[in-house]
């Protein structure tokens, strides 16, 4: 059976996420064709590329950005937060204001990054290499949204935060996770109310984005991770519930479906770095 090209690997992810073009946080660093045995991990660096060569892999897929345009242009995908906020009733102006600090910090980090470090190793090894970030997170976000909705809609106003957590625990990624789902703001016995699953927007929105949701009618926000000091600030101020589902377990919801799609097409996937 013929292998897949890097372009085909991208197309599969885009089709699953119902996207037309590769987002700014994803990139093909070294193109390749007829890939039959690929290594895939959440984070890939030079050591992992060398390991892939030693293990006889003919391509490598990272989830997180690994340099190049995916690092330099990463701030562009943060505007997805605005789209999600507006979908949940936050006014566009308030939504744009909420991401300004996050956007500035991301732009400055991109300026300081050695963005060609890992891609240069892939080129020297002549190892086909790409990363697919937002599309797989979007696949995961939709699964999480559907799973929660199906569980809590029959409960109506009686739905509690714990009901959303129980729904997520029916997904194998959370049921088997080394981490546990937490509620650092609010409590599990509080009314769930309107919930926003904030995933697939580059990174979490921190204090400002969660605050914007709380201030505009969203009772519960779900992040996959958050800085402790930002969670503490939200806890002190109150106004809603924050569910934190765990970074790696949450990323795997979308990643595992993608790996399955590759394997169904005859590609052997060597799992590592969180998979």
Rounded CA gap, 153 and 166, in Å?
14
Check residue 2 and give its pLDDT.
81
Q: Alpha helices, DSSP H only, in the chain?
A: 6-17, 46-54, 68-72, 80-87, 92-98, 100-112, 117-125, 134-152, 161-168, 172-175, 206-215, 228-237, 247-264
Instruction: Provide the pLDDT for residue 200.
Output: 95
- Tokens at residue 112, please? 């300081």
- Rounded mean pLDDT, 78-103: 97
User: If pLDDT is split at 50, 70 and 90, which confidence band does 14 have?
Assistant: very high
3-state helix, strand, coil in the chain (%, to 5): 50, 15, 35
Determine the length of the chain: 275
- For 208-218, what is each residue's pLDDT tens digit? 999 999 999 99
For residue 1, pLDDT beyond 80: no
Other Cβ atoms within 10 Å of 156 Cβ, number: 7
Alpha carbons within 13 angstroms on the beta-carbon side of residue 179 total 16
Mean pLDDT over the full length of the chain: 97
pLDDT in tens, 260-275: 999 999 999 999 999 9
Give the Cβ contact number of residue 24 at 10 Å: 21
């Amino acid at each position: 059976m013929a292998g897949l090209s890097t372009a085909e690997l991208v197309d599969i992810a885009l089709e699953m996420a119902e996207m037309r073009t590769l987002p700014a946080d994803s990139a093909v660093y070294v193109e390749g064709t007829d890939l039959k045995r690929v290594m895939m991990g959440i984070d890939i660096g030079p050591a992992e590329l060398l390991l892939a060569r030693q293990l006889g892999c003919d391509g490598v897929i990272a989830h997180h950005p690994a340099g190049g345009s995916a690092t330099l242009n990463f701030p562009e995908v943060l505007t997805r937060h605005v789209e999600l906020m507006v979908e949940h009733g936050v006014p566009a102006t308030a939504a744009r204001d909420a991401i300004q600090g996050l956007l500035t910090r991301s732009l400055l980090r991109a300026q300081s990054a050695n963005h060609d470090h890992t891609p240069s190793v892939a080129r020297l090894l002549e190892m086909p290499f790409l990363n697919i970030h937002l599309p797989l997170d979007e696949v995961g976000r939709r699964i999480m949204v559907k799973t929660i909705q199906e569980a809590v809609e029959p409960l109506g106003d009686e739905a509690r935060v714990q009901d959303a957590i129980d729904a997520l625990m029916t997904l194998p990624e959370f049921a088997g996770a080394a981490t546990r789902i937490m509620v650092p703001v609010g409590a599990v016995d509080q009314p769930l109310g309107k919930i926003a699953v904030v995933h697939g927007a580059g990174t979490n929105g921190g204090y400002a984005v969660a605050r914007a949701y709380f201030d505009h009618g969203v009772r519960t926000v779900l992040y996959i991770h958050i800085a402790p000091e930002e969670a503490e600030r939200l806890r002190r101020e109150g106004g809603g519930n924050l569910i934190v589902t765990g970074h790696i377990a949450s990323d795997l919801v979308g990643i595992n479906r993608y790996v399955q799609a590759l394997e169904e097409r005859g590609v052997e996937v060597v799992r590592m770095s969180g998979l």
